[in-house]
Structure 1
Amino acid sequence: MEANSSLSITHLIFNASFLVQVVMLFLLGLSVVSWTIIFAKSSSYKNARIKADDFEEKFWSGIDLNNLYNDCIKRSSELLGLEVIFSAGFKEFVRLINSGPADQEVVMDGTYRQMKVSQSREMENLEGHLSTLATIGSISPYIGLFGTVWGIMHAFIALAAVKNATLSMVAPPIAEALIATAMGLFAAIPAVMFYNRFVTKVEALENRYINFMDEFATILNRRLVRVRSEMNQKNEVNTVNSQNQSYPHANSTVHSTAQDDSASHLRSRLSQNQSSTDRVTYHTPGVEGDRLRSSVRNTNFH
């Protein structure tokens, strides 16, 4: 009974050498930090995934993007992930459009850059403290091994002064030292396991954010093409009208008729395009979005 009591874990810890006890206490602190990060990150990634699911469902429902943007502005302090990327990109797109005539490539490049900045900041938040988790997983076994080596060395030095060493004399100090290795593994194994799991989740969210940026940029680019086409057709109509006014009515019957026909045709085209544009103004393609997303993802995969 006395031997079992003397070899209990509690007894061995409290009777270990001072340095080994310091190593054990340090490893216990690392384990607490590790599990705190694990619980916090698990909740954070789960929340990010749920937020992304909800936003994508709303985004691809065919909602008016102006209304979606206004809704995001009202919840500016609660935005996360895709909502932040969408708000930044749409705000920059509208700002560039309203700033005056600009090349289409310039508008889309500025919009995508702004989304990229927001995406990078979101990734920084997701990757926060992962390096700490990786460090704990890497160094904990070596710290525990250091405590073990020191404890065994201290035990053998103490036994050197004894003429007749027995197993009962050697076992307790060696057991004390080995507890440090066990605590090092206790801190390292969960840290390494959850670090690898979290890295996989971060990569999945990053790919999801990048795919959304490409999809959203495609929608905005298509909208910008329609706006440019509409503006060009208006300019053509204005040019035709000015040419009609420059010809004398009495001496240009043929030209006037031809110009009137041309203007009428352009107005008809403009009216059709205008009504079509009004129906899809800043709207996501809804069901069409599924095909668009599949196409973009296949392109990115290859």
Structure 2
Amino acid sequence: MTALSFLSASTLSVPTRLDPIQLFLDADIVVKLVMAGLLLASVWCWTIIVSFSMRISSVKRRSGHFEEEFWDSESPEQLLVGKRKRDNPSARVASAGLNELRKSTSEKSSPLDREGIRQRVALAMEGQVAIEADRLADRLNFLATTGAVAPFVGLFGTVWGIMNSFFQIGSQQNSSLAIVAPGISEALFATAIGLFAAIPAVIAYNRFSHRVNGFEARLQRFADRVHAQISRELEAA
């Protein structure tokens, strides 16, 4: 083989762009585990993002329809039975208040403690509003955890990969970039995957937390209106 043909073959064997799959396959076993864990976390985060977006839109739509029917109905109690009550946060909030009203007014006490009943009804609905908000935000903690932890997990993979590259320098007694560059590239790729998992998780968590807080405030306003209606009925009784 002539010198010219050898140089041509060497030039062809040098990669011209980054290959993420090859970086993963060539990485140390520890770095591979870090990358795989971060990729799984990223997939699960996107699953939560898509499912939560669909869920909160559906919940807000169903709650809005129920509240409209609740205020237009001459007998709101009829709306609080069956499957609709179980699947609707607004229905469960109204049901909590009306159930407490029913229990309090069924007690044989004379005269009727109207102020005590108002307080118990308000507490029952406020507690149900908090339960609904917690239930809706249940899986968002994983987004927060991933956003906070993923960069450090990726950094751990990077540190381990760089340590391995320095070990190769010592074992081969060669500090050439051709020896250490591949290992450093694989190590830095772990940090890139960590950021790839963390950035969408943080953005989604902040956005979804705002939407949950907004929905909780909406439920609280509905509960306040129900409480005001119950107070008027108690005063008229």
TM-score, normalised via structure 2 length? 0.87
Residue in structure 2 matching 1:114, options 124, 142, 146 = 124
For residues 127-180 of structure 1, give each alpha carbon's deviation from its aligned partner in whole angstroms, at most 9, with x where no partner exists: 202222101110000000110111011112202344453333322111111110
| Cα distance in structure 2, aligned partners of 1:166 and 1:192 | 39
Cα RMSD over matched residues?
1.9
Identity of counterpart residues, as a percentage?
35
Shift of 1:108: 1.1
Instruction: Please tell me the residue identity of whatever aligns with 1:46.
Output: S
Alignment correspondent of 1:88? 96
Matched, 1:68 2:68: no
Instruction: Please tell me the residue identity of whatever aligns with 1:85.
Output: V
| Cα distance in structure 2, aligned partners of 1:48 and 1:21 | 40
Alignment correspondent of 1:42? 53
Alignment of 1:124-135 (within 5 A): 124-135=134-145
8 Å contact 2:86–2:92 — kept in the other structure? no
Shift of 1:91: 2.2
| Cα distance in structure 2, aligned partners of 1:6 and 1:54 | 54
Alignment correspondent of 1:297? none
8 Å contact 1:72–1:79 — kept in the other structure? no
Query: Structure 1's 15 and 7: CA in aligned 2 closer, same or farther, altered over 3 A?
Result: same
8 Å contact 1:123–1:206 — kept in the other structure? yes
Which protein shows a greater Rg? 1
Shift of 1:6: 9.3
Alignment correspondent of 1:188? 198
SS in structure 2 opposite 1:4? coil
For residues 179-211 of structure 1, give each alpha carbon's deviation from its aligned partner in whole angstroms, at most 9, with x where no partner exists: 101110111011100000011011101111111
8 Å contact 1:6–1:12 — kept in the other structure? no
Query: Structure 1's 164 and 103: CA in aligned 2 closer, same or farther, altered over 3 A?
Result: closer
| Cα distance in structure 1, aligned partners of 2:85 and 2:231 | 29
Alignment of 1:104-183 (within 5 A): 104-183=114-193
For residues 212-242 of structure 1, give each alpha carbon's deviation from its aligned partner in whole angstroms, at most 9, with x where no partner exists: 1111111110111111xxxxxxxxxxxxxxx
Alignment correspondent of 2:34? 23
Alignment correspondent of 2:232? 222
Aligned residues: 224
Alignment correspondent of 2:19? 8
Query: Structure 1's 109 and 77: CA in aligned 2 closer, same or farther, altered over 3 A?
Result: closer
Gaps of 5+ in 1: 228-302
| Cα distance in structure 2, aligned partners of 1:79 and 1:15 | 50
Query: Structure 1's 95 and 161: CA in aligned 2 closer, same or farther, altered over 3 A?
Result: closer
8 Å contact 1:23–1:143 — kept in the other structure? yes
Shift of 1:86: 0.5
SS in structure 2 opposite 1:165? coil
| Cα distance in structure 1, aligned partners of 2:141 and 2:20 | 32
SS in structure 1 opposite 2:27? coil
Instruction: Please tell me the residue identity of whatever aligns with 2:105.
Output: I
8 Å contact 1:148–1:181 — kept in the other structure? yes
